[in-house]
């Protein structure tokens, strides 16, 4: 079942073209990795899907529902129900782990009792229960990554958008968190869109890999096809 449809999208910043006639269909529940060198437009694709920006031309639909077209945002980020994990994680340093997770739930008016229950369940899933009262600065890089994942997933998003979230981690921690992402995706069933320039990450995480270069799709491979080209 087609979940996301991007049709002939273009995007420019300050007269500089970033995406050129970009079209892509994403299936519900798949793990799609967008792979390419820095500056090829990967992050722009995620920002368009999240609703942070609108396409200059072309359209974006979610489950057949038009959410953006030709310079206009029809449905913004909150209406799309997507979770996002940024490269810098963007955890609030003044809040505890539970406070970071509860923030979005509180904004949606979830009652206190339900918030506490959902926080406990999500921290159990990411194996961070004992750190419920810790501040982000008291956690290791891998623990912060788990909290960022939990915060993105606690609102039960239809899709999780991840923008090079593992790039600042050492190789061993990167490998462990790749397995963690796969486990969570299998358990919760969300659609995963993962942006990276790392071929090893893409090979392990993806059911499909979209190779981008200079704002265009160069080719698309499934997990059973040949390994990724070098950049």
- pLDDT at residue 194 is higher than 90: yes
What is the per-residue pLDDT across 171-180, written as a single tens digit (0 to 9) for each? 888 888 899 9
- Cβ contact 10:23 at 8 Å: no
- pLDDT at residue 36 is higher than 90: yes
What is the model's pTM? 0.89
- pLDDT at residue 2 is higher than 70: yes
Going by pLDDT thresholds of 50, 70 and 90, the confidence category of residue 223 is: low
Q: Where are the domains of the chain?
A: 91-152
What is the per-residue pLDDT across 39-92, written as a single tens digit (0 to 9) for each? 999 999 999 999 999 999 999 999 999 999 999 999 999 999 999 998 888 889
Of 8, 3, 73, nearest to 216 (Cα)? 8
């Amino acid at each position: 079942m087609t979940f996301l449809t991007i049709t002939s999208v273009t995007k420019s910043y300050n007269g500089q073209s970033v995406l050129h006639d970009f079209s892509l269909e994403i299936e519900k529940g798949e793990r799609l990795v967008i792979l390419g060198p820095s500056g090829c437009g990967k992050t722009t694709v995620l920002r368009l899907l999240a609703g942070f920006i609108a396409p200059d031309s072309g359209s974006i639909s979610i489950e057949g529902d038009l959410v953006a077209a030709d310079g206009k945002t029809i449905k913004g980020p909150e209406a799309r129900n997507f979770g996002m994990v940024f490269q810098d994680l963007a955890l609030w340093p003044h809040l505890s782990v539970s406070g970071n997770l509860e923030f979005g739930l509180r904004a949606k008016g979830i009652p206190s009792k339900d918030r506490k229950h959902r926080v406990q369940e999500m921290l159990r899933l990411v194996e961070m229960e004992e750190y419920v009262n810790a501040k982000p600065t008291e956690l290791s890089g891998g623990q912060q990554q788990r909290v960022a994942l939990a915060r993105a997933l606690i609102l039960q998003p239809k899709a999780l958008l991840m923008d090079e979230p593992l790039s600042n981690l050492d190789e061993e921690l990167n490998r462990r968190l790749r397995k963690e992402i796969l486990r969570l995706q299998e358990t919760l069933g969300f659609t995963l869109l993962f942006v990276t320039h790392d071929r090893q990450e893409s090979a392990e995480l993806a059911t499909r890999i979209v190779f981008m270069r200079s704002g265009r799709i160069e080719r698309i491979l499934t997990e059973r096809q040949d390994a990724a080209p070098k950049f």
